[in-house]
Every structure is written in C-alpha cells, then in structure tokens.
Amino acid sequence: MSYYRAPNGAPILFDNDDQPVRLMWHWEVCPSCEGSGTEDVWGTNGVTSDKWAEWTEGDDDFVTDYLAGHYSKPCAECEGRRVVGMPDEDDPRYDEWVAEMRAEGEWEAEARAEMRYMYGPEY
C-alpha cells in the first residue's frame, strides 16, 4: 500500500493491488510552510531572530533581496499551493492513509508543525 498526492492536490491511496482509492478530502493549510507557499532556500521556514541579526548586520542588500523573495522557493510539501489535500477523518480509509503517512515519516513532521502551530515556535 502506498499513497501520493495527485497533481490537483487530491490525496490518493493505493490498495494492496495497486489500485488507486479515491478518498473524501478537503484542503488544509500546508503544515510545512504554514500557508506561505514558499520556503527559503535553506529548507526552513523563516529565520530565527538571532540568525537574522547575524546575517543582516550591515548588509542592507541581503535584507532587500530576502524580502523580495530572492531566497525563497516553492514549498516542497504543497508545491507553492499554500494548502494540501487531506483526507476527511470520517472517510473509511482515513486510518489507512494515516498509517501510510506515518510509515513515510511525514506524519511526524506534520505533527511537529501542528505542535508549533498550536503551542508556538519552541516545539
């Protein structure tokens, strides 16, 4: 079993016969970029204030370029869409989807993003 996201963003699960299973789904704000649609070229979302102070010290060009998006690329998770397709929790296959995501380690990353969203950046 495996899963992937269709080009239109819809989550699709493949059953044990590799047949695609369509799920009821909805859009959710992308947990990776938190809806910005971009991540910076270092693969992080945003820069800590310490780093920011260090990098921008006396370098106004860097600040201008950064704010202009020169150091941004489309978010890998949502491909710049700002939202990701997530299966509905009452879909009968929802548990299988979650199991697949967990298997691929994405669940953990998403859970962390959710913790950050709920409890702040310390998580």
Binding track over 30-59 against Zn ion, x by CB under 5 A: x-xx--------------------------
The residues in 54-93 that bind Zn ion, with binding defined as CB under 5 A, are 75, 77-78
Which of 32/94 has CB closer to Zn ion?
32
**Interaction between residue 113 and Zn ion (CB under 5 A):** no
Q: Judged by CB under 5 A, which stretch of 11-19, 23-31, 49-57, 107-115 contacts Zn ion?
A: 23-31
DSSP labels, 69-100: TTTEEE-TTTTT-SEEEEE-TTSTTHHHHHHH
Cα–Cα distance measured from residue 123 to residue 27, given in angstroms and rounded to the nearest whole number = 24
Q: Judged by CB under 5 A, which stretch of 3-11, 27-35, 47-55, 56-64 contacts Zn ion?
A: 27-35
Instruction: Give all strands (DSSP E) within the chain, no chain letters.
Output: 2-5, 11-14, 20-22, 25-29, 38-40, 72-74, 83-87
